[in-house]
Chain A
């Protein structure tokens, strides 16, 4: 089936392990004369740079926009990532989903792309937005009788504005020039735009991307808002896994915005205002808040020359206000149920730490140890031996900058229940609290981390995502690579220590999917 754009994969960031990929240096050797890391190299040149030793060229424009360029030989393609350090944690109640809606709207073209008459469009925007404010005013007074007719007038005006629009021109230009994988994603802490291009057409990306950073037009606003509402219905409201995730996060984070859904609550989505989105864009989408990573068959000097030429004049913009909310210490077990006509699922979460915390590596190793493959403890016990679950995973998240939760997610194997799964999970964690893991167990994990570091070099896009992600979150592209060294230093006693510290009954939050009584009884 066709893959669709403008999506946030599951609208959340739930990598199995959130602390960057391993960066063992056993394969680190020498920089090739060209300064490039090789792909498709000749025999005899199998020495390869990994991790923090990659020859990344760094540059910062006068307006604060940071650039990371990694030239690589191989197929003549290039991956572009632009990451803005702003996401759902920067939203307030009543406007949840604004970062995600903005992400959608940034594919709508600019003052001079995707339109035949931007002035006429603007005039219609004013009328539509005034009607929307009238709707909000009526709703605030509890008078909704005229809302439907006002919305019809908005729809009519949007249709009228559509006569001036060349729909989806941004995507059309890039894709007809060979662009691949044009898309974007929003998470709690950042918003990321990406595409791959044939490397001879790299300049086209500079032209289009700089134009949408400078002159975006949020046209087709109300229909796109409806599209996002449908996205929420698809990913959350008709999806038991989506509902469970949202309920679990909301229960685990009572104060911190990690508890808010990236896609937004339906009532918020349906009331977002175009002027608010424009203000949000102006505030947070300046180059000072952006990191660009370019990885592929390119010349770094040329890339940086284009960076200056196309992006150098953009005003710097603002850095988002810091998120000061701190989740209070949990003082008792929390349980929440999602009633849905589906089989049982369970998520068990415990508050842990942020990625930069000294305990994070041991928690990551613990995650591998519990669910990292067929030999992992919970998989072997619950799936293979006792057969109480069909699948089990663990994650840390939903973000990396603030104290996260460590979640174990499992699907009970019928007729076993979520209670059976919980009991088995707690028994295994008790065992880890008493006895540290064995050295061979940790060695298997280290070996996989090492191979993973090599494998991540096979993808330009994957590397670009990691470079930009690290630089955006931690200020340095090397930081997430550096986590590997921290992971390698984890010893068995470290794992036992974090198991003892964090995995207590009074700190856990448990969410389950249960069938509504009417369905369960039939």
Chain B
């Protein structure tokens, strides 16, 4: 087997994942379930590739993983600083900047010229921003690397924010805002975030007043750009058909003269979560309700028992596809929904949320809420079964190799780990951590997080038509009706 190129400074220990079973053949009398238990799998001997960490002038960290299987090179840039680091007054501009880096041209090239060059060289390029970060990536045929790299550097460093393209983006966003209610699921997520996070960047949605032309003026955009896209905020990643001897100098050339950061960005404030628990309804004449039930959570991403227990607990409750408790009850056994699941966010520095979400026909809205609440209450009241924990751990451990499926995956993950201040050996710690989870640990974290009846302390958001609910919402407590946004002025 062609093992990975030994480009990492040190190899992590090989993973040997072995299914221990008896070496017997199958017979006609065996059931499939039995046969599964008797299958013997060879060990998965696999050296985990790691990107090499370099530092290039003027002091930018670069994760580099060579891979010559295809004549392609991928580059990734990750910047500290995103929409959540800026004030509400600058929210329009911070949202606009990543898109306009791609579409707004450079000091030397018009937007149309940029489009034509990128398409001529068939480069795939993306820009984005979210929460505390901004990022960009580009993928190119190796033979076009120099031209594409030069253009990518210009787009990142020397944007023109062409007014015509600013206006294109502004109109698109105004239109998007006006269509916010068109898709019930999108409306529900927006309203739920707004309820829980209130006037905090996580809960902000673009509003028409964020999109006034003066909020997107060239000096505002350049100011945001200067504060994020400086080299002190930058981490790079490179993978593909290139050696470091070739790539290092190219990156130094790209970074030559790149300005330092004028000042450190202030981290965003911690969300306060002042929402009152209870039932909130956005009334829409639909025959299917969208439901989100959730609350804040104190669990943080860290190398500790709470985090790993929450991860496994979430898998058992609602994040493992059809095999989760919620899917089994709401979908498989009752046929109440097509999609049901949970999300448990675990930021490193602030509180996150735990939430369950689904869609069900109007008349079964309350029945479905009660089923979900029952499942939430059960995990708060008692530890899961041993086999549930074992299955959740097995999913991660036996599928661990998929963390290394592509070089791009490896490089971008290491960049993210650095951004989150996770240790270099995070994956090994993670693997050991999930294997140490116990039913008691899962119970403990759920008990600290969720109410015993699954309803108290929870925010229950419904987008739907209460006239069709049978029974009605009365049993769930006081109901507050949320208004849809006022009609947005048409551009």
Residues of chain A at the chain B interface (Cβ within 8 Å): 1-7, 27, 34, 36, 38-46, 48, 73-77, 107, 110, 112-113, 159, 162, 167-169, 171-173, 175-180, 182, 196, 198-201, 203-204, 207-208, 211, 215, 220, 222-231, 233-234, 237-240, 297, 341-343, 373-375, 380, 383-384, 387, 390-391, 411, 413-415, 443-444, 447-448, 450-452, 454-455, 457-458
Q: How far is the CB of A141 from chain B (nearest CB, A)?
A: 26
CB distance B341 to A4 under 8 Å?
yes
Q: How far is the CA of A229 from the CA of B171 in the complex (A)?
A: 37
Q: Which of A42, A113, A390, A451 contacts B32 (CB 8 A)?
A: A113
Q: How far is the CB of A409 from chain B (nearest CB, A)?
A: 15
Contact indicator B288/A198 (Cβ below 8 Å): no
For chain B, residues 58 to 106, give those with C-beta under 8 angstroms from any C-beta of chain A: 66-72, 103
| Interface-side segment among B40-48, B196-204, B438-446, B453-461 | B40-48
Contact partner of B122 among A46, A73, A447, CB < 8 A?
Answer: A447
Interface of B is mostly: mixed
Instruction: Return the contact of B171 from the options A77, A374, A387 (Cβ within 8 A).
Output: A387
Question: Chain B residues near A36 (CB, 8 Å)?
Answer: 2
CA gap between A180 and B361 in the complex, in Å:
30
Question: Is the CB–CB distance between B116 and A375 below 8 Å?
Answer: yes
CB-CB under 8 A for A178 and B400, given A341-B284, A343-B182:
yes
Q: Are A343's CB and B120's CB within 8 A?
A: no
Contact of A176 among B39, B175, B341, B398 (CB under 8 A): B398
A227-B331, A387-B171 known; A207+B32 contact, CB < 8 A:
yes
Known A175-B321, A196-B402, A226-B335: A375·B115 in contact at CB below 8 Å: yes
The 8 A CB mask of B261-276 against A (1 = contact, 0 = none) is 0000000000000000
Q: How far is the CA of A108 from the CA of B385 in the complex (A)?
A: 23
Contacts of B327 in A (CB 8 A): 4, 168
CA distance A10 to B405 in the complex (A): 27
Chain B residues touching A, range:
35 or more
A2, A27, A179, A238: the one within 8 Å of B71 (CB): A27
Query: How far, in whole Å, are A437 and B49 apart by their CA atoms in the complex?
Result: 47
Q: Which residues of B contact A (CB under 8 A)?
A: 1-2, 4-5, 17, 19, 26, 31-36, 39, 41-44, 46, 49, 66-72, 103, 111-112, 115-116, 119-122, 124, 139, 141-142, 164-165, 167-168, 171-172, 174-176, 178-179, 181-184, 241, 243, 284-288, 318-323, 327-328, 331-343, 357, 359-361, 391, 394-395, 397-402, 404-407, 490-491
User: B115 contacts which of A6, A176, A207, A373 (Cβ < 8 Å)?
Assistant: A373
Given A43-B243, A77-B402, A383-B168, residue A448 in contact with residue B333 (CB < 8 A): no
Closest B-chain residue to A446, C-beta based? Answer: B122
Do A77 and B32 touch across chains, with their CB atoms under 8 A apart? no
Q: Are A444 and B178 in contact (CB under 8 A)?
A: no
Contact between chains at B2 and A41 (CB < 8 Å): yes
A112-B332 in contact given A74-B69, A107-B322, A415-B490 (Cβ < 8 Å): no
Q: Which residues of A contact B399 (CB under 8 A)?
A: 175, 178-180, 198
Q: Please state if A231 and B44 are interface contacts (CB–CB under 8 Å).
A: no
**What would be 7 A-B contacts, judged by CB atoms less than 8 Å apart?**
A3-B321, A40-B4, A112-B33, A168-B328, A226-B335, A238-B359, A451-B141
Q: Is the CB of B44 within 8 A of A384?
A: no
Q: Across the interface, name the chain B residue whose C-beta is closest to A204.
A: B39
A398 to chain B, nearest CB (A): 21
A414 contacts B42, C-beta separation under 8 Å: no
Q: From known contacts A2-B343, A200-B42, infer whether A178 and B338 are also in contact, taking CB-CB under 8 Å.
A: no
Interchain CB contact under 8 A, B322 and A171? yes
Inter-subunit contact A233/B361 (CB<8 Å): yes
Cross-chain contact A77 with B405 (CB below 8 angstroms)? yes
B46 adjacent to A75 (CB under 8 Å) = yes
The residue from B32, B171, B318 contacting A110, defined by CB atoms under 8 A apart: B32
- Assess whether A414 is in contact with B491, with CB atoms less than 8 Å apart: yes
**Is A46 touching B112 in the complex (CB atoms < 8 A)?**
no
Q: Which residues of B contact A238 (CB under 8 A)?
A: 184, 286-288, 359
Chain A nearest CB, measured from B182 CB (Å) = 4
Q: Do residues B402 and A167 form an inter-chain contact, with CB atoms below 8 A?
A: no
Q: Nearest Cβ in chain A — how far from B264, in angstroms? A: 33
Question: Which of B69, B167, B318, B490 has its CB near the most chain A CB atoms (within 10 A)?
Answer: B69
| New contact pairs (8) apart from A76-B401, A238-B184, CB-CB < 8 Å | A46-B68, A200-B42, A200-B44, A201-B398, A203-B39, A238-B286, A374-B119, A415-B490
Q: Check A342/B182 contact, CB under 8 A, given A41-B67, A211-B32, A374-B103.
A: yes
Partner of B1, one of A73, A179, A454: A73
- Known contacts A226-B335, A230-B336, A238-B288; A2/B341 CB under 8 A: yes
